Amino acid sequence: MKTIVITGGSGFIGTLIATKLLSSNYHVVILDTQPPRITHDNLDFKKIDPNNIAIDPSWIDGAHGIINLAGAPIFGRFTEKYKSLVWKSRIDTTAGLVHAISKSYIKPTVMVSASAIGYYGNTNGSSVFESVPAGTDFLAKVCSEWERQALEAQKLGVRTVILRTAHVIGKGGILGVLVPLFKKWIGGYFGSGTQHMPWIGAHDLVAMYIYALEQESLTGVYNTAVANPTQREFMKTVANAVHTPISWPIPALIARLTYLDFADALLVDTTVDNTKITSAGFVHNETDLYTTIVSSINE
């Protein structure tokens, strides 16, 4: 039975990945600041101190693979204090993880580490491949350094895969924020709404992590998105899914006053190309936005 260590494994995506791995006869060890949402005979938990992020090498010694999902939620008001939390929870944890790998006796074969399409910043709607340089806003800098720290594992002989995550459609994540707003008839799109909003279904993302874990040919960085609707189209689809007839335009100024620097994530226009991951053999199964949203709400 192979062991997979998941940092941030108690979160939304981590829980789904752990559940899938456990059903596939893996042994799973979750490293997180919070205990897992699930229980299983083949599931272990190691608590990380959020004020002193340190990963004991013995926790990963002998593990077949690592899935690195650690990071505070992105959606929120970006005060300086919260920006520091977003940064440290990703960069410091990933650096600590790679340090633990360097000190482990039997190193993992593979590490699959999260990143995000925020890496690109504002591309003004141009379709971008993985080789495009990082953007210049705060989230782009976070993603760039996050990836740089993860790729240090390659120097230790660990096959490293980075998945730049699009907006995830599932029971948690962005729908957990949007659905209650639309049910109250106060949901909408930001600015002009013409900016693109790349997305991926939660179950497809879980499948992609496991695919990256198991396919020895995969290495380096991959975009995850299945499609790139405009934000106006995206929000209209959410509204239709919850039977709300209206999607309000929300001025960009309101977004900036409400969310500070996080407004960049709501207003940038980024379109990502997924040719690299699909050419590697991965097939998206959640391809219709409306169906994916409705299925997620009803789970």
For 55-78, how does the pLDDT look when each residue is reduced to its tens digit (9 = 90+)?
999 999 999 999 999 998 887 778
Give pTM, 2 decimals.
Answer: 0.95
* Residue pLDDT, tens place only, 86-96: 999 999 999 99
Measured CA to CA, the distance from residue 163 to residue 94 in angstroms comes to 14
Could you tell me the CATH number of the domain that includes residue 86? 3.40.50.720
Residue 198 has pLDDT above 90, yes or no: yes
Q: Is the pLDDT of residue 252 over 90?
A: no
Domain count along the chain: 1
- On whether residue 191 sits in a domain, the answer given is no
Q: Whole-angstrom Cα distance, residue 75 to residue 194? A: 20
For residue 239, being part of any structural domain is answered with no
110's tokens: 């593979």
Helix (H) or strand (E) holding 264: helix 263-267
Domain with 77 in it: 3-170+199-225+271-285
Specify if 243 maps to a domain.
Answer: no
CA atoms within 13 A on the CB side of 28: 29
Question: Within the chain, what is the greatest distance between any pair of CA atoms?
Answer: 59
Rounded Cα–Cα distance for residues 116 and 82 (Å):
18
Q: Is residue 215 part of a domain?
A: yes
Degrees, nearest 5: CA angle 35-36-40: 125
Q: What percentage of the chain reaches a pLDDT higher than 70?
A: 99
Q: Is residue 13 part of a domain?
A: yes
